[in-house]
Amino acid sequence: MSATTTPEAAPAAPVTSARTTPPGPRRVPPPGRILLVASLAVATVYFLLPVYWLVIAATKSTDKIYGSNGFWFDSPRLLENIGKVLSYDGHVYLYWVANTLLYAGVGALLATLLAAAAGFALAKYRFRGREAVFKSVLAGVLLPHTALALPLYLLFNKVGLTNTYWAVLIPSVVSPFGVYLCRIFAESSVDDTLLEAARVDGAREGRIFFGLALRIMSPALVTVFLFQFVGIWNNYFLPLVMLSDDRMYPITLGLTTWQTSQDRIPELVQYTVGGAFLSVIPLAVAMLVLQRYWRTGLTEGSVKG
Amino acid sequence: MTATADSPGETRPPAPSGPPGSASRSARRSSRPDGAAWYFLGPFLALFLFAFVLPIGYAIYQSLLTVERHGPLGLGEPSIGFAGLENYALALQQADFVDSFGRVLLFGVVQVPVMLLLALTLALMLDQLSDRWAGLLRASYFLPYGIPGVIATILWGFLYVPGISPITEALGSAAPDFLSYDNVLWSIANIVVWEFAGYNMLIIVAQLKSIPQELYEAAKIDGAGPWQTALRVKIPLVRPALVLTCVFSIIGTMQLFAEPLVLKLLTPAVTSTYTPNLNAYNDAFANANIHLAAAKAVILAIVACALSFGFLSLVTRKQRRER
């Protein structure tokens, strides 16, 4: 198995983003070129079509969502719609935005810090039980997270933590995959001689970690943060089983409750669409801007195979 | 540093011997305060135990219990009693629970290869473009990954329901019923492909970028065209990335939950026992049988782990034999 991961793969990872595409064969013969461009165009339409529909639909009233061509504008009124989404039910959507930022933002930040410390410890110290800890972390990577939601509910229900912010936040700050990435990155990029030099200079271990290791590991940390952010943002099962007060919901859970009540309150069709639009657009922009960080970090992940 | 690139399954040299080549430094190593490691590990480990290990242990414990009814007609005060493996037997006897496993298995057997083939094709095609175009297209293929499954399903739901969907409108009478009993599984598969193809593509792209350029040059000198380079050089070299994406996709398939839950609102073809996760959720909340639900959650975790470990060892064994 180690044969598949050449020595170049791991240490080269941080620099890959800087490297340009291999010069390889640039020009394909014309018929192939046409096929290539056509296939890529079809793929682009496929991936962007639902988002395009969302942008159009966000400008429409509920009537127009049903009664007009979904792929073109019909009496657009985007700002009015957004205003209604935000003010509906005592500004509940704003609570959901704040909660999402708390769960995904603060959760991912804490998860990254914990993963960095644990990964650094596993990479740079030798102690009894190191391998046992690492193996159980790996088992955590392979365990399906939704298979964990129900057991977490049973336990948190027992200790009275359900329907609190902690119920979603505590499981969110644990990222075994982050520990795995941080360990690999720390092993290949944090130099032992540098640590020894710092120790000779009298630096304590905590100072070495916060002042030195964290800075060296920052490319990996950005990746861990993004992974965890999207992971928490995507995890629907956990808040669904844990929370019953709709003022504590994240956006995803809130929108599905609106979706469920559409039969009784038809305006909610428009609010669901508008709410989805408001939550998707900032993330789409963030994706485009942060794309290169994903690439850098994913190389670390791929050496795992 | 080769040790860092080892696979998760590989056993590492025992801790005291240290990494290869560090023996000469053993004298200086004594200055390293290894005990400090536990301060760094402590916070993570405590939360890992509390939010990973303990819940699983507690779920296993709960799965071994059952509510016993006493008195005439079982109307007396119920009490909790030890049930052994009764809940597991009950779960496996339920036809709809077993069916739900069959359904996600069928789903995975079709959806995972389709998605990975799409991801691989896109990655190889983008490799032929100039950097600027490749970057732009890569970002647009990756975009759906940032949209949570529930919101993606709400979106696609609008594109599936006849009467709202501009797609069925455009296709007219040729439009399939996306939400019928026969089609809805593949409509869900489409949503999952849409969400994750770009993400998997990005992992493969990352691996492609780490291929040493000399290999391309050598292939060119040997007279290989773009097709041959892709088939003979690139695909074999991105194999580790394909294995990784495959394992994560298998785990993801077993977890299928949010997509069918949201589509359930739109069509009777999706039942409350459609996937194993939905089945367990239904037992815990609609039927209020947490012991059975716990047993199902444990079965699900075991099957998912067995499948991904099985796949990993299959790939490793094959690779060893090839060597």
**Is A194 a residue whose pLDDT tops 60?**
yes
> Nearest CB to B140: which of A9, A47, A209?
A47
**Is A240 a residue whose pLDDT tops 90?**
yes
The predicted structure's pLDDT at residue A303: 38
CA-closest candidate to residue B48, choices A229, A170, A24, A57: A170
Task: Supply the ipTM of this predicted assembly.
Answer: 0.82
For the segment B63-105, what is each residue's pLDDT rounded down to a tens digit? 999 888 777 776 777 788 888 889 999 999 999 999 999 999 9
C-alpha span between A73 and A57 (Å, rounded): 8
A47/B240 CB distance under 8 A:
no
What is the largest distance, in Å, between two alpha-carbon atoms of chain B? Answer: 88
The predicted structure's pLDDT at residue B61: 94
For the segment A118-164, what is each residue's pLDDT rounded down to a tens digit? 999 999 999 888 999 998 998 888 777 777 888 999 999 999 999 99
Percent of chain B with pLDDT over 90: 40
Using DSSP, state whether B66 is helix, strand or coil: strand
| Higher-pLDDT residue of B24, B179 | B179
C-alpha A118: how far from its chain's center?
Answer: 20
The tokens for B139 are 């970002």
Is A117 in contact with A209 (CB distance < 8 Å)?
Answer: yes
CATH superfamily entry for domain A2-23+85-302: MetI-like (1.10.3720.10)
For chain B, give the mean pLDDT: 83
Q: In which band, very low, low, confident or very high, does the pLDDT at A183 lie, cut at 50, 70 and 90?
A: very high
A304 exposure class (CB count in 10 Å sphere: 0-12, 13-18, 19+) = buried
Would you call B207 an interface residue with chain A, using a CB distance cutoff of 8 Å? yes
**Is B23 a residue whose pLDDT tops 50?**
no
Classify A208 in phi/psi space as left (phi over 0), alpha (psi -120 to 50) or beta.
alpha
Query: Strand pairing partners for B98?
Result: none
CA-closest candidate to residue B245, choices A176, A233, A302: A302
A125: closest chain B residue by CA: B34
**Is B281 a residue whose pLDDT tops 70?**
yes
Q: Phi and psi (nearest 5°) for A293?
A: -70, -35
Would you call A53 an interface residue with chain B, using a CB distance cutoff of 8 Å? yes
The tokens for B301 are 């975790």
A294/B137 CB distance under 8 A:
no
**Is B225 a residue whose pLDDT tops 60?**
yes
**Record: fold of B95-275:** MetI-like fold (1.10.3720)
C-alpha span between A36 and A25 (Å, rounded): 14
Which residues are CB-contacts of B10 (< 8 A; sequence separation ≥ 6)?
A: A1, A2
Residue whose entry in the numeric block shows the structure tokens 């071994």: B64
| Surface of A (227-286) touching B: CB under 8 A | 230, 233-234, 236-237, 241, 252-253, 255-256, 259-260, 272-273, 276, 279-280, 283-284, 286
A156: closest chain B residue by CA: B55
C-alpha span between B95 and B77 (Å, rounded): 31
For the segment B106-124, what is each residue's pLDDT rounded down to a tens digit? 999 999 999 999 999 999 9
For the segment B226-265, what is each residue's pLDDT rounded down to a tens digit? 788 888 888 888 888 888 888 888 888 888 999 999 999 8
A294: closest chain B residue by CA: B202
C-alpha span between A237 and B192 (Å, rounded): 16
